[in-house]
């Protein structure tokens, strides 16, 4: 099923790290149920059962569009305190690009960002968060910063994706098949820390793009621009 999260649940999602850029995979107990079930959450708002009908639900959302799917979804009746993240290691798939494909698409090999040590930003490098949502909830538009536990890619990897052109949904292994519409630009300060790695295969996508994880988000006034994807 496709559900709309209540405000309290959205706030809970935002207090937890992302699983990947723009989404979370969680476990939670719905009201009146004994056991937890797994769900995919898009933009902290739209909740989808992670079961054998996932592809069907994804297609419905793609056809309707995110806003309409959200407005028509039934309310997600959940015990907020039961919400927890699913380990990303449980989601990874053994899908490997050939060396020719990796070269042609300029994809990368290696482990995910959270398996790498933290590094300090140099104060000059730009990172880009790609999203299907203009109101991306991982951008604090008031304080102009990336919120805690959020993913981006690097500006250079984003440029490679656009110039080739490559499919950003496959490159960054996104569960939502809605087209990527927006690019949010962030320039972290030297006091901001990140972990840098390679997007792992998931949701039937190969990954191989560069990802950066900001456990503590970024400083105030580091978010500086929003543009349509590819512009």
Share of residues in the chain with pLDDT > 70 (%): 98
pLDDT at 89 exceeding the cut of 80: no
Read off the pLDDT of each residue in 159-168 and give the average, rounded to a whole number.
Answer: 96
Q: pTM for this one? A: 0.93
Residues 17 and 108 in one domain: no
Residues 112 and 202 in one domain: yes
Integer CA distances (angstroms), 118 to 81, 178, 209, 212, in order: 30, 31, 19, 10
Give the DSSP H/E element, type plus range, for residue 60.
Answer: helix 54-64
Residues 78 and 149 in one domain: no
Q: Which of 90, 119, 143 is the last residue of a domain?
A: 90
User: Count of CB atoms within 10 A of residue 152's CB?
Assistant: 28
Residues 108 and 214 in one domain: yes
Q: Which of 59, 90, 121 is the last residue of a domain?
A: 90
Residues 212 and 138 in one domain: yes
pLDDT at res. 69: 87
- Which stretch of 27-31, 143-147, 181-185, 215-219 has the lowest confidence by average pLDDT? 27-31
| Confidence tier at 88 by pLDDT (50, 70, 90) | confident
Residues 140 and 73 in one domain: no
pLDDT at res. 32: 84
Expressed in angstroms, the distance from the first to the final Cα of the chain is 35
Between CA 39 and CA 228 the distance in angstroms is 29
| Confidence tier at 95 by pLDDT (50, 70, 90) | low
Residues 139 and 205 in one domain: yes
Q: Which of 46, 61, 90 is the last residue of a domain?
A: 90
Domain residues for 84? 2-90
Strand ranges of the sheet holding 2-4, from the earlier edge strand across to the other edge: 74-75, 2-4, 46-49, 37-42, 23-28, 84-85
pLDDT at res. 92: 65
Dump pLDDT digits (tens) for 30-54: 888 889 999 999 999 999 999 888 8
Dump pLDDT digits (tens) for 44-86: 999 999 988 888 988 888 888 888 988 999 999 999 999 999 9
Residues 80 and 129 in one domain: no
| Confidence tier at 3 by pLDDT (50, 70, 90) | very high
Residues 104 and 86 in one domain: no
Residues 42 and 67 in one domain: yes
Number of domains in the chain: 2
Residues 83 and 151 in one domain: no
User: Count of CB atoms within 10 A of residue 177's CB?
Assistant: 16
Residues 83 and 105 in one domain: no
């Amino acid at each position: 099923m496709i559900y709309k999260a209540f405000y309290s649940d959205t706030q809970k999602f935002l207090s937890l790290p992302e699983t990947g850029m723009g989404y979370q995979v969680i476990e939670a107990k719905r009201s009146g149920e004994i056991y937890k079930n797994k769900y995919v959450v898009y933009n902290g708002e739209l909740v989808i059962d992670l079961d054998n009908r996932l592809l069907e639900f994804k297609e419905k959302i793609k056809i309707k569009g995110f806003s309409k799917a959200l407005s028509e979804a039934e309310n997600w009746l959940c015990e907020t305190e039961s919400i927890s993240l699913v380990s990303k290691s449980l989601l990874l798939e053994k899908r490997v690009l050939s060396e020719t494909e990796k070269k042609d698409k300029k994809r990368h090999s290696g482990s995910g960002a959270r398996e790498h040590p933290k590094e300090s930003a140099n104060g000059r490098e730009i990172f880009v968060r790609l999203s299907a949502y203009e109101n991306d909830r991982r951008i604090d538009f008031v304080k102009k910063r990336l919120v805690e536990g959020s993913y981006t890619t690097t500006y250079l990897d984003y440029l490679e994706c656009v110039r080739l052109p490559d499919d950003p949904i496959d490159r960054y292994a996104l569960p939502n098949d809605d087209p990527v519409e927006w690019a949010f630009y962030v320039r972290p300060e030297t006091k901001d820390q990140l972990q840098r790695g390679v997007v792992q295969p998931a949701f039937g996508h190969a990954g191989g793009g560069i990802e950066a994880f900001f456990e503590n988000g970024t400083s105030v006034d580091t978010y500086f621009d929003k543009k349509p994807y590819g512009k």
